[in-house]
């Protein structure tokens, strides 16, 4: 049991299709004791059965990261129930609808500020508030996407936020390394989650990734969950500041695989065919 004896909190589970759920499930199956958070009362009702399944029905806490007082309350609840914690999973991101469609040049300052606050600064603030209860050799994990490195259609503002998040991981890793705390991110391939529903032409993104990733498939929350569990466990004790890709190898591709029709025009080679 790779996580036996470890205690941690997972922020950002929306339902059983969430990547955060995949990570929580993998950790729980390896012996970790969990606490999970919910955004508001609507999500609380949805997460109650999930909390029971994960063995933390009495450790389901409210935490809207736009409200600093709720992060402080989360720290107090965790300290009361666990004393110290060994890991944090930060799976929180948000951009207003205008930031995920249309022309990037038209994005408002308000939308930009909101996306950066919820998607990026929340990692810093959660780390700040929970740092006093982090155990020695604790691990912090957040979630990114390839759209923070390269242009992805319709990802727009969230791509900029993920770029900032990835650099935040690196700066936090250096800063907290002296305290023995590791900070990493997983850059997962596209997965049908509640958050992904707001991205235009997402079904095409799934097809494109499966067609051109070396493994010729899309990843699952179980696969991402297992990688997350590794980064939270002692198996990765010398790993920090990394952006770990779990995308079937899509990120290594320099150009797509194509074939030509009878007129010599290139066509997409779906599934490598």
Q: Is the dihedral of CA 213, 217, 220, 224 positive or negative?
A: negative
User: What is d(CA 186, CA 224) in angstroms, rounded to the nearest whole number?
Assistant: 8
Number of alpha carbons in the 13 Å side-chain half-sphere of residue 25: 18
Q: Which residues contact 103 (CB under 8 A, 6 or more apart)?
A: none
151 a catalytic residue: no
The catalytically annotated residue of 21, 145, 230, 245 is 145
Q: Are 223 and 190 in contact (CB under 8 A)?
A: no
User: What is d(CA 227, CA 238) in angstroms, rounded to the nearest whole number?
Assistant: 15
Say if strands 266-268 and 258-260 run parallel, antiparallel, or are unpaired: antiparallel
The catalytically annotated residue of 21, 38, 61, 155 is 155
155 a catalytic residue: yes
Comparing CA positions, the residue from 68, 69, 72 lying closest to residue 80 is: 72
CB atoms within 10 A of CB 34: 25
Q: Which residues contact 35 (CB under 8 A, 6 or more apart)?
A: 7, 8, 9, 10, 56, 59, 60, 61, 77, 78, 81, 82, 85
Catalytic positions, please?
A: 145, 155
């Amino acid at each position: 049991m790779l996580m036996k004896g470890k205690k941690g909190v997972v922020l950002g589970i929306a339902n059983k299709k969430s990547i955060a759920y995949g990570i929580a499930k993998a950790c729980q199956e390896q012996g970790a004791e969990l606490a999970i958070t919910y955004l508001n009362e609507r999500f609380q009702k949805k997460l109650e059965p999930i909390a029971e399944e994960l063995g933390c029905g009495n450790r389901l806490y409210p935490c809207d990261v736009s409200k600093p007082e709720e992060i402080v309350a989360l720290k107090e609840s965790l300290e009361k129930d666990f004393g110290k914690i060994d890991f944090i999973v930060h799976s929180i991101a948000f951009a207003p609808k205008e930031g995920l469609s249309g022309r990037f040049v038209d994005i408002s300052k308000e939308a930009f500020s909101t996306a950066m606050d919820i998607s990026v600064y929340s990692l810093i603030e959660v780390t700040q508030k929970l740092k006093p209860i982090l155990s020695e050799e604790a691990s912090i994990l957040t979630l990114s996407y390839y759209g923070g490195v390269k242009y992805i259609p319709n990802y727009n503002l969230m791509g900029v936020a993920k770029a900032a998040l990835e650099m935040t991981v690196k700066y936090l890793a250096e800063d907290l390394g002296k305290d023995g705390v590791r900070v990493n991110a997983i850059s997962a391939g596209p997965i049908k989650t509640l958050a992904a529903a707001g991205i235009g032409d997402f079904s095409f993104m799934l097809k494109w990734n499966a067609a051109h990733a070396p493994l010729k498939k899309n990843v699952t929350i179980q696969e991402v969950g297992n990688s997350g569990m590794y980064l939270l466990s002692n198996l990765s004790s010398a790993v920090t500041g990394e952006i770990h890709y779990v995308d079937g190898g899509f990120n290594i591709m320099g150009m797509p695989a194509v074939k030509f029709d009878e007129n010599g025009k290139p066509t997409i080679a779906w599934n490598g065919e």
